[in-house]
Amino acid sequence: MLLDVDDCQLVLVDYQERLMPALHQGAEVLSRGVFLAQMAQLMGVPVWGTEQNPGKLGGNAAAIRDLCQGTFAKMHFDACESGLLEALRPAPARPESRAPQRGGNARSLPKHLQRPSAPPPAPEPALGNTVVLAGVEAHVCLLQTALGLLEQEFDVWVVTDACTSRRERDRDAAFDRLAGNGVELVSSEMVAFEWLRRADHPLFRQALPLIK
């Protein structure tokens, strides 16, 4: 099974500027997160970010934050508790109620005086049910968010080279647990090429400098 670009959303967990230097291979992991966000933006994939307790830990690196459609502050380690779910799966809009016109129902007027009813608004496009997930720390917020999304019946794909923890062993333990729970583990280039699928994709030439 390959990723379907039309069914994907990207969630970037806690790439906070103050945290990254303390993490194993933090600079490289941050660059992979930026690459994913750039590819998603190019391919029309929605991008969401989260920040853990930003009042004390600061915000996401600007390169990440600037590429996100929305960023959710959180105190829970599982970002599903932060309002993220409402962004990934927004409630359908309610139809607007129309106030009755003065003088009775418009349908009581002669037919040639009645105003035509407005067509119903076009439905908003549905967002994808596949969440491509990356971030830090892999064994805490990333792991708990992935498991939370699974409970909400999303398909979850974790991008391993865009995730890390302070200790390499914790990161690897997180990947083992995620795989055991049915999460797909991929690399950032796997995501990029599965979104593109073809060398003659109209956006391939624009994507190539990002990949290289």
3/11 Cα distance (integer angstroms) = 15
pLDDT at residue number 140: 98
pLDDT at position 187 over 90: yes
Kindly give the pairing relationship between strand 47-52 and strand 70-74.
Answer: parallel
Kindly give the pairing relationship between strand 184-186 and strand 8-13.
Answer: unpaired
pLDDT confidence tier of residue 106, bands split at 50, 70 and 90: very low
Residues 191-207: tens digit of each pLDDT: 999 999 999 999 999 99
Where do the domains of the chain lie? Answer: 5-89+125-211
Residues 55-66: tens digit of each pLDDT: 999 999 999 999
Is 5-89+125-211 a CATH 3.40.50.850 domain? yes
- Sequence-distant (6+) residues with CB within 8 A of 175 are 138, 158, 160, 163, 185
26/48 Cα distance (integer angstroms) = 20
Of all helices (H) and strands (E), which one includes residue 11? strand 8-13
For the full predicted model, state whether its pTM sits above 0.75.
yes
Strand order through the sheet with 155-159: 70-74, 47-52, 8-13, 130-135, 155-159, 184-186
